[in-house]
């Protein structure tokens, strides 16, 4: 158990040091803010001493000389105004620095997520990532905004109070030193017990975001299939778990924060009154000193209470930072090019040599895949769901690293190409097109400065999209909402098709690109595809066999293996799996 505590303490220390490293670019601003904070704390500490001088030197002996009293009054008010002004400045400074730090941290996390491999997203819920980038970074912000400034300010303040106490009465000040180790032990115990609770609360919050994200994304299916009660029940279960975790958090705060500190305050107050009470039996006591000590007692435990409350925020920030840094340290990055050479794709000649692939490292979804696609040829991939069609295109796009075998483009291994070269020369059209918030023009260009407005219009005309775009109220400037919800599925697909054609790729990857298009639109796109294929290599995944009958090569996949290959007519004559699939679809169409 002690070993576990030691490991946890070391881990939290590393996280804390890493958090502080984000403040390095702001060292100068932080130094000024801390200096102002120091002056403000000194001004606060000097206030009771001025009151003590007034009581003992003027009020008790009834000396009311107006000049020294005026000086004391002006000094007291001036110190108060100075403290208020400096507190405002340091608070503003810490908030400003904190916001810049969180701004940078969020950019780091978002940038990291953009370069993670698809394998990471396959096993990580989107809501969990949203929670880390938003909720967890917001929790970290409180560390810089509230916790660090509060701790530094109050530690300086406590040192000032103890110094003033030693000046006023060293014997009584020593008694205060006994309380400090007790406070430190209390803080250590609180951190130990609260750490696991905060981890649980953050985990449940992440699960809430995940379930909420899933529900919003699939709302049409939820309502169509009458799944509202089930989703509400599942969400309620996670929400109850989050509630229970927060109740535990409230319990530990209620027990170890205010009540424990209040008990120490009463103990200290008893010591002061007992000390002055015993001393009054032998000699007169200075009322001003008694006032100063009681005032300092309140001022001593006020920052202690603040530090204990901020300790809760500190612990939450550390837990959140562990989650954020865990994401920043993720090793499962998207594949990148190997070597120092930067080859270019000139022809688009594709060759798969004995490619074997597994998503989880144990079950192979592709086994010994070999085929060649020459420039100007169309290679179609057909097969039942789960046969490995999409996995082949995923590997060609280098979304995943190859487990075994090799993929060559123009005779060069795929891993030698830079990602920029692959994205410029390989055009991808998915079955479910994704449109970004913006307008039609932006969704076709995708902020590629090399694509002009003329290129956009030409690409749209090429795929027969220009006619419906021109009919929109603002044509190419027509706004597009989230995921293009206001457009039909066919219109979204046509825009994504124009997006692909705008880059003039050497290789086309079509994942059932005409599945969401009506018959009339499909005929127009098929006409466009015939022109697009000239001089380009096309890899097409097809569920409807009628769309790929003119393909130069059809690969029939079953359980991750190529079981048949040839042209449409040759496969029909073979009367194998392809023949049975064709008859089944023809029969369905006749019905």
Q: Give DSSP secondary structure letters for 174-208.
A: HHHHHHHHHHHHHHHHHHHHHHHHHHHHHHHHHHH
- Average pLDDT of the residues in 19-25: 82
Identify the three-state secondary structure at position 382.
Answer: strand
At 352 the pLDDT is 92
C-alpha 291: how far from its chain's center? 52
* Least confident interval from 268-272, 319-323, 539-543: 268-272
Q: Is the pLDDT reported for residue 5 higher than 50?
A: no
Can you tell me which residue has the tokens 């007169």?
284
User: What CA dihedral angle connects 455, 419, 113 and 513, to 10 degrees?
Assistant: 50
At 176 the pLDDT is 67
At 4 the pLDDT is 39
User: Over the stretch 56-78, which tens digit does the pLDDT of each residue have?
Assistant: 666 766 766 777 777 777 877 87
CA 551 to CA 380: how far, in whole Å? Answer: 6
At 286 the pLDDT is 61
CA 269 to CA 395: how far, in whole Å? Answer: 73
- Average pLDDT of the residues in 384-409: 86
- Average pLDDT of the residues in 204-222: 71
Q: Edge to edge, what strands does the sheet with 350-358 contain?
A: 364-373, 350-358, 404-409, 412-413
At 86 the pLDDT is 79
CA 448 to CA 492: how far, in whole Å? Answer: 19
Q: Is the pLDDT reported for residue 419 higher than 70?
A: yes
- Average pLDDT of the residues in 187-204: 73
Measuring CA to CA, which residue among 391, 457, 427 is closest to residue 536? 427
pTM for the whole structure: 0.65
Q: Which helix (H) or strand (E) holds 584?
A: helix 577-590
Q: Kindly state the DSSP code that residue 553 receives in the 8-state scheme.
A: E
- Average pLDDT of the residues in 125-148: 76
Domains for the chain: give ranges and CATH numbers. 18-328 (1.20.1560.10), 350-590 (3.40.50.300)
Tokens of 248: 């535990």
- Average pLDDT of the residues in 208-236: 71
CA 248 to CA 253: how far, in whole Å? Answer: 9
Q: Kindly state the DSSP code that residue 333 receives in the 8-state scheme.
A: B
CA 481 to CA 483: how far, in whole Å? Answer: 6
At 188 the pLDDT is 74
- Phi first, then psi: give them for residue 436, nearest 5 degrees: -95, 155
Q: Is the pLDDT reported for residue 474 higher than 50?
A: yes
280: confidence class by pLDDT, cuts 50, 70, 90:
low
Percent of the chain with pLDDT over 90: 1
At 353 the pLDDT is 92
- Average pLDDT of the residues in 550-576: 87
Q: Is the pLDDT reported for residue 271 higher than 50?
A: yes
* Whether 118 contacts 334, CB under 8 Å: yes
- DSSP string for 59-118: ITTT---HHHHHHHHHHHHHHHHHHHHHHHHHHHHHHHHHHHHHHHHHHHHHHHHHTB-H
What number of other Cβ atoms are within 10 A of residue 341's Cβ? Answer: 10
Output the average pLDDT for the chain. 77
Cβ-defined contacts of 75-78 (< 8 Å, 24+): 75/50, 76/47, 76/50, 76/51
């Amino acid at each position: 158990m002690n070993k576990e505590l030691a490991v946890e303490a070391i881990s939290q220390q590393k996280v804390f040091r890493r958090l502080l490293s984000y403040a390095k670019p702001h060292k100068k601003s932080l130094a000024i803010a801390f200096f102002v904070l120091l002056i403000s704390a000194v001004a606060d500490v000097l206030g009771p001493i001025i009151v003590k001088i007034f009581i003992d030197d003027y009020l008790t002996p009834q000396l009311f000389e107006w000049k020294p009293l005026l000086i004391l009054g002006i000094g007291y008010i001036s110190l108060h105004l100075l403290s208020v002004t400096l507190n405002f400045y340091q608070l503003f400074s810490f908030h400003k620095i904190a916001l810049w730090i969180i701004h940078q941290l969020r950019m780091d996390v978002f940038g990291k997520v953009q370069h993670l491999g698809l394998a990471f997203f396959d096993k990580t819920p989107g809501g969990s990532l949203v929670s880390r980038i938003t909720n967890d970074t917001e929790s970290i912000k409180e560390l810089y905004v509230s916790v660090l400034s509060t701790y530094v300010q109050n530690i300086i303040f406590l040192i000032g109070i103890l110094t003033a106490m030693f000046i006023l009465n060293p014997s009584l000040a020593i008694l205060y030193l006994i309380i400090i180790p007790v406070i430190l032990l209390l803080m250590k115990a609180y951190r130990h017990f609260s750490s696991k609770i905060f981890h649980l609360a953050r985990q449940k919050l992440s699960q809430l975001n995940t379930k909420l994200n899933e529900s919003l994304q699939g709302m049409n299916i939820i309502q169509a299939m009458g799944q509202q009660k089930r989703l509400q029940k599942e969400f309620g279960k996670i929400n109850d778990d989050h509630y229970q975790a927060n109740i535990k958090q409230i319990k530990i705060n209620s027990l170890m924060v205010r009540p424990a500190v209040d008990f120490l305050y009463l103990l200290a107050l008893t010591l002061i009154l007992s000390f002055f009470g015993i001393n009054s039996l032998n000699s007169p006591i200075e009322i001003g000193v008694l006032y100063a000590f009681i005032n300092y007692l309140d001022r001593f435990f006020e920052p202690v209470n603040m530090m204990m409350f901020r300790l809760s925020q500190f612990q939450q920030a550390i837990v959140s930072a562990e989650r954020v840094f865990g994401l920043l340290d993720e090793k499962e990055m998207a594949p990148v090019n190997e070597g120092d050479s930067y080859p270019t794709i000139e022809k688009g000649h594709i060759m798969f040599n004995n490619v074997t692939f597994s998503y989880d490292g144990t079950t192979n979804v592709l086994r010994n895949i070999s085929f060649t696609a020459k420039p100007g040829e169309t290679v179609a991939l057909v097969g039942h769901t789960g046969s490995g069609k999409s996995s082949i295109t995923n590997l060609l796009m280098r979304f995943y690293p190859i487990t075994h075998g090799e993929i060559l483009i123009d005779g060069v291994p795929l891993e030698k190409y830079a990602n920029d070269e692959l994205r410029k020369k390989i055009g991808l059209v998915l079955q479910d097109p994704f449109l970004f918030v913006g307008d039609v023009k932006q969704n076709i260009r995708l902020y590629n400065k090399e694509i002009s407005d003329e290129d956009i219009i030409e690409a749209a005309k090429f795929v027969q999209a220009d006619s419906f775009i021109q009919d929109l109220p603002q044509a190419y400037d027509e706004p597009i909402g989230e995921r293009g919800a206001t457009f039909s599925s066919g219109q979204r697909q046509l825009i994504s098709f124009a997006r692909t054609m705008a880059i003039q790729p050497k290789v086309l990857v079509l994942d059932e690109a005409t599945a969401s298009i009506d018959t009339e639109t499909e005929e127009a796109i098929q006409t466009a595809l015939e022109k697009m294929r000239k001089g380009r290599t096309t890899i097409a995944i097809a569920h409807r066999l009628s769309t790929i009958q003119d393909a130069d090569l059809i690969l029939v996949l079953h359980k991750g293996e190529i079981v048949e290959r040839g042209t449409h007519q040759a496969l029909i004559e073979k009367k194998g799996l392809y023949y049975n699939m064709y008859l089944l679809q023809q029969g369905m169409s006749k019905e």
